[in-house]
Amino acid sequence: MGQGRHFLQIPGPSPVPDRVLRAMDMPVIDHRSAEFAELGRTVLEGAKKIFQTSGPVVIFPSSGTGAWEAAIVNTLSPGDKVLMVETGHFATLWRNMAKRWGIEVDFLPGDWRRGADPGAVEGKLAADTSHAIKAVMIVHNETSTGATSRIGDIRVAMDRVGHPALLMVDTISSLGSVDYRHEEWKVDVSVSCSQKGFMLPPGLGFNAISQKALAASKTNKMPRSYWDWEEMLKPNAKGFFPYTPATNLLYGLREAIAMLLEEGLPNVFARHQRLAAATRAAVNHWGLEVLCQEPKDFSPVLTAVLMPPGYDADEFRKVVLDNFNMSLGSGLSKVAGKVFRIGHLGECNELTLLAALTGVEMGLAVAGVPHRAGGVDAAMKFLEERPKGNAPARLKVVDS
Ligand SMILES: Cc1ncc(COP(=O)(O)O)c(C=O)c1O
Q: 173 and 45 in contact (C-beta within 8 Å)?
A: no
Q: 11 and 346 in contact (C-beta within 8 Å)?
A: no
Angle at which helices 313-324 and 350-367 cross, to 10° = 110
- What is the distance in A from the centroid of ligand 1 to the CA of 173? 7
Residue 3 has what pLDDT? 81
For 284, residues 6+ apart whose C-beta sits below 8 A from its C-beta are 290, 375, 378
Q: For residues 280 and 47, what is the distance between their CA atoms, to the nearest angstrom? A: 31
Atom of ligand 1 nearest to the CA of 205: 10
Residue 388 has what pLDDT? 78
Q: For residues 334 and 112, what is the distance between their CA atoms, to the nearest angstrom? A: 9
CATH superfamily, with its number, for domain 7-13+264-384? Aspartate Aminotransferase, domain 1 (3.90.1150.10)
In one-letter notation, the amino acid at residue 263 is E
Residue 65 has what pLDDT? 98
Residue 174 has what pLDDT? 98
- What is the distance in A from the centroid of ligand 1 to the CA of 316? 24
- What is the distance in A from the centroid of ligand 1 to the CA of 390? 37
Atom of ligand 1 nearest to the CA of 195: 10
> In DSSP terms, which residues pair with 108 in a beta bridge?
85
C-alpha distances (whole Å) from 33 to each of 100, 204, 240, 257, 272 are 39, 21, 9, 22, 38
Q: 307 and 338 in contact (C-beta within 8 Å)?
A: yes
Phi, psi of 38 (to 5 degrees): -65, -45
For 354, residues 6+ apart whose C-beta sits below 8 A from its C-beta are 278, 376, 379, 380, 383
Closest among 70, 174, 82, 188 to 128, alpha carbons compared: 82
Residue 60, judged by CB atoms within 10 A of its CB (0-12, 13-18, 19+), counts as buried
> In DSSP terms, which residues pair with 136 in a beta bridge?
83, 167
For 337, residues 6+ apart whose C-beta sits below 8 A from its C-beta are 307, 312, 313, 314, 331
| Mutation probe of ligand 1 site: the residue of 172, 178, 190, 249 with most atoms within 8 A of C-beta | 172
Q: For residues 254 and 74, what is the distance between their CA atoms, to the nearest angstrom? A: 26
C-alpha distances (whole Å) from 312 to each of 27, 288, 306, 308, 317 are 46, 14, 10, 9, 9
| Mutation probe of ligand 1 site: the residue of 10, 90, 190, 327 with most atoms within 8 A of C-beta | 90
Low-confidence ranges of the chain (pLDDT < 70): 1, 390-392
- What is the distance in A from the centroid of ligand 1 to the CA of 400? 58
Residue 128, judged by CB atoms within 10 A of its CB (0-12, 13-18, 19+), counts as middle
Q: 350 and 275 in contact (C-beta within 8 Å)?
A: yes
Edge to edge, the sheet with strand 289-290 lists: 7-9, 326-330, 339-343, 302-306, 289-290
- What is the distance in A from the centroid of ligand 1 to the CA of 65? 6
CATH of domain 18-261: 3.40.640.10
Atom of ligand 1 nearest to the CA of 193: 10
Closest among 310, 304, 7, 283 to 173, alpha carbons compared: 304
- What is the distance in A from the centroid of ligand 1 to the CA of 33? 32
Q: What is the DSSP letter of 389?
A: S
Q: For residues 19 and 40, what is the distance between their CA atoms, to the nearest angstrom? A: 19
Residue 390 has what pLDDT? 63
Ligand 1 binding pocket (C-beta < 6 A) is 12, 63-65, 90, 139, 143, 170, 172-173, 193, 202
- What is the distance in A from the centroid of ligand 1 to the CA of 192? 8
Nearest residue (CA) to ligand 1, atom 7: 64
Helix/strand/coil for 245: coil
Q: For residues 141 and 158, what is the distance between their CA atoms, to the nearest angstrom? A: 19
Residue 400 has what pLDDT? 77
| Mutation probe of ligand 1 site: the residue of 177, 193, 345 with most atoms within 8 A of C-beta | 193
Domain ranges, ordered by start, for the chain = 7-13+264-384, 18-261
Atom of ligand 1 nearest to the CA of 63: 10
For the chain, the first-to-last Cα distance in angstroms comes to 49
